[in-house]
Structure 1
Amino acid sequence: MAILGAPNAGKSTLLNHMLGQKISITSKKPQTTRNRILGVVHRTGSQMVFLDTPGIHRAKSPLNTRIVDMALSTLSEVDLVLLVVDAHSPDEPAERLLLDKLSQQRLPVMLALNKIDQVQRPALLSQIERWSGMFPFAAVVPVSAKNGEQVDRLMDAMEAALPVGAPFFPPESLTDLPARFIAAEMVREKAIRLTGQEIPYAVAVTIDSFKEEKSGTRIRIHATIHVERESQKGIVIGKQGTKLKQIGEAARQDIEKMLDAKVFLKLFVRVQKNWTRDTKALRKFGY
């Protein structure tokens, strides 16, 4: 299933809740998700494979164009689309773009009206009526990805709509992503969350080394945070390195939860000028 929606609709938060574990990074800043994130949910008698995607918007820069193309490409790989909409603060231009793209497909589409914990009931009922008249959804389910309200109902509806078939992944599988990738994403999430407005769009993270010590008691990770300008480097490092230390500590805690192991995390900051507009750099960073 492809999870599609506008930036900040809550797609990644919803996926993490359904999985019961964090694999997709989140923040309040748009375009936090840049890659397709695969998550596997195991239920009694079923297995559901989700593809969390970057927010759909009218892209202008080379980076954002690649991000949107990546998200839309998942439509050729799935049996069902889950459209996630922010019921509290709808993004109408992105919604129109999404509905136009979905109308060109023959896939069944379900709608998750997210963030209902922030919406009064009369307004929610009005939104359900409005959306039901805009597109022939297979189901419209109001949810709160943040607190889990009605998420089980949504999963039941998706499970019932999926075709019968053999499972794609073993019972223990949570994702097909390597630990190195998720570790890099967790560093990027903390850099986004803990810095100013200009930083999120300029940050990429690469893992320089990922080694388990011979004793097996600790994993040593060296990672580089790439930014576009010297001024951004100063923001990420902070006064006397305090911001970088804060980013590293927060990321280390999340990585340890994911790996269930002690982690030594060393961060570096490097200026890669105008990398978001450099085709070669975009390929290097996996976009």
Structure 2
Amino acid sequence: MANCPSCGHNISDTARFCTRCGAPIMQPGSSSEDVATRRLPSDERPTGLSAGRPTGPAYVPPESPFDSPVTPPPSATPRAASVDLGRWLSEGWQVYRNNAGTFSAAFFVMVLLSLVTLTFLSGPLLAGFYHMVFKSMRGEKPQVGDLFRGLDRFWPAVFAWIIEVALIGALSGPSREYALFSLISLALTPLVNAVFFFVYPLIMEQQKDTVAALEQAGRAVFPRNVLPFWVCGLIFEVIFFIGFLGCGVGFFITAPFILCAMAVAYRDFFGLAGPWSRESWPPMWMDQQR
């Protein structure tokens, strides 16, 4: 057996062309001019015409037909990004508005299933909701059924939800009776929420387990961005609860809107794999408005 000089594929000793890449194979004692397509005798030619001149070496297509840059995969290490609350809210609102009906319907389904299962499915469904948002940011059309893609990361998302509920419960429980615990809760709860901005997207997008996702999310928040993320977490909480005004109907607008803003924050700190992932990300709605 011989090897193709172009791609290294194993070929037979008598082969004239590589079966994988089509490169001509030089036989011992022959030159490149000898490597040509075999000419059929006149009696074997389907047209009955005389044989023409031998063709040249077989055409070898390039490995990539397009000279497009290779996009690196998303980094698990937080990038040197800064908290930009105003832009996150602005872009998050545009992402939500682009598929408002789908996002609100999906959030309604998520709340309903969470209540039926005593919040056991809240973590996986949150991961699935982020998957929907990222599809929209990639220019794809999200569907309500995409919500259940979070079940593919069921246990990491469930464990993350249990940890989040335990932390929030521990911070909010004693604060009802002691003023000191109220201050501690006010200081730490927005930071806990800020960390979990990134936990579910990391579990869903980068296939991280719960511990690794918590570690990477914590590195994005602490220690450099503690104060900006505290403000961001507090503002997001306020917007969440504003939705409860008016019999709670607005909650199905404000909540998915804030989740879209969180997805934009995740993109800034961790990036998204694909040609849309670059520093100056062009949102899809800008192209539609031109």
TM-score, length-scaled by structure 2? 0.23
Q: Which has the higher strand share?
A: 1
TM-score, length-scaled by structure 1? 0.23
Identify which of structures 1 and 2 has the higher relative contact order when contacts are C-alpha pairs closer than 8 Å and 6+ apart. Answer: 2
